[in-house]
């Protein structure tokens, strides 16, 4: 980085709160050179299938209840949709899966059975307690025929394509 003028050190650096800072050359620090694409935008740009994550609780209820949302993958195959939910440490008997229209709701609870009574956390990254994930699936899939399997901490739901209703040709009589 020789030859480039360093900007003055910020006050928090001078006060010793952080020991060192690496400054990027202006060519690398220009944010307009980078384009962030959110997962939602990437999905919109590259697919005609949309999965909407709904608020698990009504907005009024949401503020008073605490829960976490598990990591979820949803992808399309030739046979239908696959919904895969990461639920390490959750027993299958603590899982509930329900369907209402095109809405898939996965809920349950992960207990913290390893922690002692009184402790002070140094790092806490694992979510415990009640969880809920609500997905609004796109049309064209038959949630009533979905199959679920739970293995090695992953819940997998296979949602087949909807079979179009067979249409019978009918004759319409002509009145005289």
Over residues 26-71, the pLDDT tens digits come to 444 444 334 444 555 544 444 445 566 665 444 434 434 568 999 9
> Looking at residue 21, what is its pLDDT?
45
For 89-124, the pLDDT digits (tens) are 999 999 999 999 889 999 999 988 777 778 888 888
> Looking at residue 119, what is its pLDDT?
81
> Looking at residue 8, what is its pLDDT?
58
Domain 50-114+126-160: which topology? Immunoglobulin-like (2.60.40)
Per the prediction, the chain carries an average pLDDT of 74
170: tokens are: 């009918």
118: tokens are: 């009184």
Q: Exposed, middle or buried, 159 (CB in 10 Å: 0-12/13-18/19+)?
A: buried
């Amino acid at each position: 980085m020789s030859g480039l003028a360093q900007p003055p050190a910020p006050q928090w650096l001078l006060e010793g709160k952080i020991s060192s800072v690496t400054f990027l050359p202006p060519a690398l620090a220009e944010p307009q050179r980078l384009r962030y694409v959110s997962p939602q935008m990437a999905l919109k740009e590259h697919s005609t299938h949309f999965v909407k994550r709904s608020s698990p609780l009504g907005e009024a209820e949401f503020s008073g209840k605490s829960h976490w949302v598990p990591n979820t993958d949803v992808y399309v195959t030739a046979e239908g949709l696959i919904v895969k939910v990461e639920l390490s440490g959750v027993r299958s008997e603590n899982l509930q899966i329900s369907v209402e229209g095109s809405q898939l709701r996965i809920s349950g609870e992960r207990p913290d059975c390893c922690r002692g009574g009184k402790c002070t956390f140094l790092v806490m990254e694992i979510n415990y307690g009640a969880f809920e994930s609500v997905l609004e699936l796109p049309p064209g899939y038959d949630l009533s025929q979905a199959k679920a399997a739970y293995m090695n901490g992953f819940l997998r739901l296979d949602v087949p394509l909807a079979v179009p209703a067979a249409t019978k040709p009918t004759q319409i009589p002509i009145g005289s």
